[in-house]
Amino acid sequence: MGGYAVFAVVIIFAAGLFSFQAGASGDDLRSKLTIIAPASPGGGWDTFAREQQQAMRANQLVNSVQVVNIPGAGGTIGLGKLSTLTGQANTLMVGGTGLMAAEIQHRSPISVSEMTPIARVVAEYNVIVVPGDSPYQSIEDLVRAWVADPQGVVWTGGGSFDQLVMTATALAAGVEPMDTAYVPASGGGEVAQALMNGTAQVAASGYADLSDQIESGRLRALGLAAPERMADSDIPVLREAGLDVTLSNWRALFAPPNISAEEQAELLKLVKETVVTPEWEAAIPRYQWTEVFLNGSDLEIFLNQEDERIRSLYEEMGR
């Protein structure tokens, strides 16, 4: 069975797991809302969706809001489901950098560009870490060793975004991405384990996933792939070492295709109300998120630029 046929079968199966109320406009959008987390419970997209749900519930912004998990193929199974809900404005889905990467990686016949973007809300930045007893004391030490022996410095990370950060760092350092060695892991726990047991010498991973290990000294943070340092942190950004790497693992909300302009505006209003609630504001520091709210034509421009950048990085990886 071909890849597209398998994709279609999975979408049909997912559709049978839950039901959605037909889309409506105006006040009816506030009566029942579904937020799709296109991943298993416990991950970043799921956490984002459930914090949105909690903030909406606590402040009675929506009468009934449910989170539905549709894992599989890096989020593209959930994306496929969203694409079938044309015109149903009471459904939102969480997406981001990883979803755009998964479209390429899994050759998805559906693109996030076909959905209705509502708002980019938060972002996380990757940190480059080594074991606490590593000989690499700085990002400069690491780059020197990596340039000298690209295959000898083995990287790991917990997802497709982490490999994108490694690829961008390689390009900035003058290392050919296809000459690098990368061992994929599943989440921050496996990343730390790979560093501790010597499977890999360096990792790119979300700061929140490894912050406890960094604070304990088991891991050493060499640099943050962010535009500027985090508040109250002594971790340098990669730009300080001359490496212009600022990829963000952003999270945004998308609605199905072909909803009306009025419905899109009402959903945007709902999200704006949600992100100023006490519950949501408390979640920001808890997960080390950075607020990067963006909507309208600026968001559309950003999404197009991100798609081009991610596709370019995959080409550098030979994919």
Q: For 301-312, how does the pLDDT look when each residue is reduced to its tens digit (9 = 90+)?
A: 999 999 999 999
Distance CA 202, CA 155 (A): 5
Q: Averaged over 54-64, what is the pLDDT?
A: 97
Least Cα distance to 15 among 78, 86, 99, 91 occurs for: 78
pLDDT beyond 60 at 270: yes
Confidence of residue 232 (pLDDT cuts 50, 70, 90): confident
**Average pLDDT score over the chain:** 92
Confidence of residue 18 (pLDDT cuts 50, 70, 90): low
Least Cα distance to 170 among 37, 162, 266 occurs for: 162
Q: Is 298 helix (H, G, I), strand (E, B) or coil?
A: helix
Is pTM beyond 0.85? Reply is yes
CB atoms within 10 A of CB 254: 25
Extract the tokens encoding 48.
Answer: 């984002």
Locus of tokens 């889905």: 93
Q: Is 60 helix (H, G, I), strand (E, B) or coil?
A: coil
Gyration radius of the chain's alpha carbons: 20
H-type helices in 197-234, by residue range? 207-216
Extract the tokens encoding 56.
Answer: 């909406």
Each residue of 79-106: pLDDT tens digit? 999 999 999 999 999 999 999 999 999 9
Distance CA 215, CA 236 (A): 15
Q: Averaged over 233-246, what is the pLDDT?
A: 96
Strands (E), 210-259: 219-224, 248-255
Each residue of 156-183: pLDDT tens digit? 998 889 999 999 999 999 999 999 999 9
Distance CA 163, CA 156 (A): 8
Locus of tokens 């410095």: 153
